Amino acid sequence: MAVFSWQFANLTARCPLPTANCQLKMDVIQHKERIILGIDPGTAVMGYGLIKETGPKIELISLGVVKMEKIDDHMLKLQRIFEKTLALIDNYKPDCMAIEAPFYGKNIQVMLKLGRAQGVCMAAGLTRNIDITEYAPRKIKQSITGNGNAAKEQVAAMLQNLLKFTETPDFLDATDGLAVAVCHAFQRNPGGKSGNKKSYSGWDTFAKDNAKRIV
């Protein structure tokens, strides 16, 4: 409701007197829809979730995982991630993508592989010219549960309660992907804090922000 309240106040400031035109604008704002694709990248299992946001309301469209345990070649795993991400974009036509940033761990090889997986997902989104926003794992958990150190099970339980689905996914990676999408929806309020995120709307903005990574 905080999102709509801000938009209402902003609209009222521009249209102080109640007119049919202002009412029409308010209705458009209140019922504007967007589809958000959330992805938790991984080289063994990639989780994803799609939600539809209509004004202050969000509802579940789909969630699932892409399994890659049986693929031995790392490059073939990246190909699978790219193709599946493109398929999700083409099938559901999301307005934007939210993706979890790789966590900083002690195992350099694991971080490198996760970074590649994330980069391939982002490349798929940039290929289709959709906006991409990156969130730190702690930011996602904080947005969903109020605790940046929450366990995966806590995040999944909160999402089940919020989106009213009862089935338990085979992999918690699925709800992790869904959590990224819901986290992005919660940032819609411009007055809220949106730290630990980066947004890209195309190759140019990505290249500008990652100049040191381009050869």
Question: What's the rounded Cα separation, in Å, for the pair 56 and 1?
Answer: 6
Can 209 be counted among the known catalytic residues?
Answer: no
Would you state the structure tokens that stand for residue 144, as one six-digit string? 């969903």
Can 72 be counted among the known catalytic residues?
Answer: no
Do 179 and 155 touch, CB atoms closer than 8 A?
Answer: yes
Can 173 be counted among the known catalytic residues?
Answer: yes
Other beta carbons within 10 Å of 186? 18
Indicate which residue of 53, 134, 173, 176 is catalytic: 173
CA-CA-CA-CA torsion sign (67, 73, 76, 78): positive
Question: What's the rounded Cα separation, in Å, for the pair 76 and 168?
Answer: 29
Residue among 213, 200, 152 nearest 179 (CA): 152
Alpha-helix runs per DSSP H in the chain: 2-14, 20-31, 74-92, 108-127, 137-145, 152-163, 172-186, 203-209
Indicate which residue of 100, 131, 134, 176 is catalytic: 100
Active site residue ranges: 40, 100, 173
